[in-house]
Amino acid sequence: MLGTFQQSHLRIEVNATQEHIQSSLVQPSQFCQWLWPQRFSQGLPDKIQGGLSFDSYLGPVEIHHDVEQVNDHSLYMVLSGGIDGFHEWYWGDQWVQSRLEGVSVLPLNLGQSLGMARLRQFLEQSAH
């Protein structure tokens, strides 16, 4: 893999319940909205679960996701392709935290910051 090793850890407060945050992170019908312009494989289930593999695309860059674990408060995925590393999420009432590490030519911290801002906006808009 070409690129540099990068790591980014972000935690934000959001006006949302643990259940609302969880559904925004594990239901493709929801995360496809706030992660735009990132596109995802066709045929994803209603809810992602451990053992699922899928691809996402950011422009011409393909990122493969292997979902290792999903529960009521966390999600852990191993990434390969455009990012060789992992992405883990933790959440609770009114907070969400993301940790992204890997080798990539993509600016991971910038992408993660934009994604978290879009998630916050999505959660606040869908709460009304």
- Given a cut of 90, whether residue 126 has pLDDT beyond it is no
User: What pLDDT, on the 0 to 100 scale, is given for residue 46?
Assistant: 97
**Amino acid letter, residue 84:** D
Q: What is the pLDDT of residues 64-87, one digit of tens each?
A: 999 999 999 999 999 999 999 999
Percent of the chain with pLDDT over 90: 94
- What confidence tens digit (pLDDT) does each residue in 15-34 have? 999 999 999 999 999 999 99
Cα distances (Å, whole numbers) of residue 53 to 18, 23, 43, 48: 25, 18, 11, 9
What's the pLDDT score for residue 1?
63
Give me the pLDDT at residue 17, please: 96
- Please give the domain boundaries of the chain with CATH numbers for all domains: 4-126 (3.30.530.20)
pTM metric for this prediction: 0.93
Go through 105-121 and write b for each residue having 16 or more CB atoms within 10 A of its CB, e for each that does not: ebebeebbeebbeebbe
